[in-house]
């Protein structure tokens, strides 16, 4: 039964991959809404200038959108009386920044009504959020349309978790057409943002169920984290990349190399030869390829399962189907 479920999951992901490129191109709106990128960037800039910590959740929102049903804006939809949406799944309950997408959509509806999809706005906002906190920029292929379906259980099942080992991560990414390099590069997004203690507290207090600590985490770092995160703490948040969590840089790889990545999924990057080599190769900032690689992997991720042509719709309001 489990094998059949896994096969059906793979078939669905392959269908998404096969149908992910037609009609998506840089400059898609040059005739129908030429100011789209400027409007999204200005809106994103306004919010990031007030709250720089919004950059990480905007990036994460795009990531979470693409990993469930492809990049179709399904993570933006609200739950209804008869359906619990992705937005309410536990991994998505800490997402923030929906007001940025809504504000950009409102501005675009005044400029060119009914033209620009919410999924394209999210892809642009994620790029702009990263570039506004000293990160790279990249050209975003556009032309996605918005999905009409959003199901809580699919987010719970398909999103990578902080507890995943390398084998699980490789399978999850691979099913969506992302390779091992994409995995280690996109993990670098953890250079910004915060995490709740419960996402890693088992590494501090009860790693194998015997009241032990994770031997793959630096002991001194564990001691520092224990000061902030007490057993059973479900409210405290800590920086994922201490001292640098508001700036997009290569410090994440330095932390991972010192066995100071917060999550099991961060530590997993040292358990594979290819990902470990990449981590170590980014430590010399002058020789780092991370910014270039990140843009390339984001473009690749942003083309997973996109709806184009007559599929889906262009939502009038991002939280609601038309």
Is 74 assigned to a binding site?
yes
Closest of 56, 185, 53, 42 to residue 104, by C-alpha: 42
Residue 225 structure tokens:
């984290």
Is 212 assigned to a binding site?
no
Is 64 a catalytic site residue?
Answer: yes
Closest of 194, 193, 278, 251 to residue 228, by C-alpha: 194
Closest of 312, 297, 270 to residue 176, by C-alpha: 297
Is 42 assigned to a binding site?
no
Options 46, 64, 196, 317, the catalytic residue? 64
Is 317 assigned to a binding site?
no
Residue 29 structure tokens:
């709106």
Is 164 assigned to a binding site?
no
Enumerate residues 6+ apart whose C-beta is below 8 A from 43. Answer: 100, 103, 104, 107, 125
Number of other residues whose CB lies within 10 A of the CB of residue 88: 15
Is 233 assigned to a binding site?
no
Is 70 assigned to a binding site?
yes
H or E element that contains 239: strand 237-239
Annotated binding site: 65, 68, 70, 72, 74, 86, 160, 190-191, 241, 249
Annotated binding site for Ca(2+): 65, 68, 70, 72, 74, 86, 191, 241, 249
Report, as residue numbers or ranges, the catalytic residues. Answer: 64
Annotated binding site for heme b: 190
């Amino acid at each position: 039964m489990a094998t059949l479920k896994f096969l059906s999951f793979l078939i669905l992901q392959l269908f998404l991959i096969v149908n992910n490129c037609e009609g998506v191109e840089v400059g898609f709106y040059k005739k129908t809404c030429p100011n789209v990128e400027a409007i999204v960037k200005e809106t994103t800039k306004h919010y990031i200038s007030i709250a720089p910590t919004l950059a990480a959740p905007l990036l994460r929102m795009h990531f979470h959108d693409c990993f469930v049903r492809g990049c179709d804006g399904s993570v933006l939809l609200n739950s209804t009386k008869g359906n619990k949406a992705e937005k309410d799944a536990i991994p998505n309950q800490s997402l923030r920044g929906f007001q940025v997408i809504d504000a950009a959509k409102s501005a675009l509806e005044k400029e060119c009504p009914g033209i620009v999809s919410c999924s394209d706005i999210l892809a642009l906002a994620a790029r702009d959020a990263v570039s506004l906190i000293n990160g790279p920029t990249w050209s975003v292929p556009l032309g996605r349309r918005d999905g009409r379906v959003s199901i809580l259980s699919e987010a719970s099942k398909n999103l990578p978790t902080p507890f995943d080992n390398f084998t699980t991560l490789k399978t999850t990414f691979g099913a969506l057409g992302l390779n091992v390099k994409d995995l280690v590069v996109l993990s670098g997004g953890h250079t910004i943002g915060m995490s709740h203690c419960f996402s890693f507290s088992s590494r501090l207090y009860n790693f194998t169920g015997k009241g032990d600590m994770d031997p793959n985490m630096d002991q001194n770092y564990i001691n520092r984290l224990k000061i902030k995160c007490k057993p059973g703490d479900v409210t405290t948040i800590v920086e994922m990349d201490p001292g640098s969590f508001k700036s997009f840089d290569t410090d994440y790889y330095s932390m991972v190399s010192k066995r100071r990545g917060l999550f099991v999924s961060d530590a997993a990057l040292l358990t594979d030869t290819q990902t470990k080599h990449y981590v170590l190769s980014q430590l010399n900032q002058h020789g780092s390829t991370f910014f270039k690689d990140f843009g390339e992997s984001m473009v690749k991720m942003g083309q997973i399962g996109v709806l184009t042509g007559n599929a889906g719709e262009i939502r009038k309001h991002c939280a609601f189907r038309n």
